[in-house]
Amino acid sequence: MLFVEETIGVTDTAHIPQQRGDQLLDSAVRYAEERHWDVFPGTWLEAADGRETCSCERTDCPVPGAHATGPDWAARATGSAVAARRLWSKQPRASVLLPTGRTFDALDVPESAGFLALARMERMELTLGPVTRTPDRRMLFFVLPGAALKVDDLVRGLGWTPEAIDLVTRGEGEYVAAPPTRIGGSGAVQWARRPTHANRWLPDVEDLMSPLAYACGREAAEERARRA
C-alpha cells in the first residue's frame, strides 16, 4: 500500500509552495478505498501578497488550511472512494480531514513524548497503528474507537492525574488532519508510522496507554521543572 506524503518547509515571501491537488485527491481516495476511513474536504490555503491565508478568510484562523468548512462536516464525510474523488475533483486544494470516533480514535500527545513512547513500544514489541506528526509538534496515535471513554480511568489506574499530563483523546464529534495536508506556512502533516497492511488492525487504547502515559507524565514533570 502506498500513501503519498510531502514534507514542505516554512514558507517565505519569495516563494509559496502549493499543495499538489493530485496528492491530496489520491490520498483521500486511498484512505477511503484501502483503509475504509471516512474522509471529508476542509479548507485550503490561498496565496495572496506573498503570504498564505486560509480559505475561510479569517485573519486569526488557528489552523489555516486545515479545518472544516462548516458545521455540517460530519454529514459530508464519506467512506466511498468514488464520492471522495468527486469531492476533491471540485476543490483539489482542499485539506484531507478524517472524522474520529468512527473507525478510529486518536491519542494526541506532544511530539517529544510521542517519540519517547514509540521507542518504548518498539522495545515492548507492541502492535502499533498509524501515527501522524503535525507541524505544531504533536503526534497522534490511531487506536480503536471508544478510547475517549476509557482514557481518564486508565491514566488514573497508572498513577497519573489526567489533568496533569498533556494527553488528549480525539473521539466522536471531532476530526484530525491527514497527510499530506499543509497547515499554514508551518509545514505538512506527515506519517511517523504510515498505514500498511501490517497495521490494518488497530490496537486498543489499553495496549498503548502505559508507555504513552509514562512519556506524557515525564514530559509534564520536565516542563514543571523548567518553570520552577
Per-residue cell: 179:
497527510
| Radius of gyration for the chain, computed over Cα atoms and rounded to the nearest angstrom | 18
**Alpha carbon separation from 8 to 134, 166, 172, 195, 199 (Å, rounded):** 12, 27, 30, 20, 26
To the nearest whole percent, how much of the chain has pLDDT over 90? Answer: 78
| pTM, 2 dp | 0.88
Looking at residue 52, its pLDDT comes to 87
What confidence tens digit (pLDDT) does each residue in 14-31 have?
233 344 567 999 999 999
* Residue whose C-alpha is closest to residue 91's, from 139, 142, 42, 37: 42
> Do 133 and 208 meet the contact criterion of CB atoms below 8 Å apart?
no
Q: Is residue 146's pLDDT more than 60? A: yes
Average pLDDT of the chain to the nearest whole number: 89
146's grid cell: 471508544
In this structure, of 1-10, 18-27, 69-78, the range with the lowest mean pLDDT score is 1-10
Give the pLDDT score at 20: 56
133 residue type, one letter: R
48 — pLDDT class (breaks 50, 70, 90): confident
pLDDT band at 47 (very low <50, low <70, confident <90, very high): confident
Which of 199, 27, 169, 149 has its CA nearest to residue 100? 169
> Which of the four pLDDT bands, split at 50, 70 and 90, describes residue 162?
confident
| pLDDT score of 22 | 78
pLDDT in tens, 171-210: 999 999 999 999 998 899 999 999 999 899 999 999 999 9
Classified as helix, coil or strand, 46 is strand
pLDDT of residue 169: 96
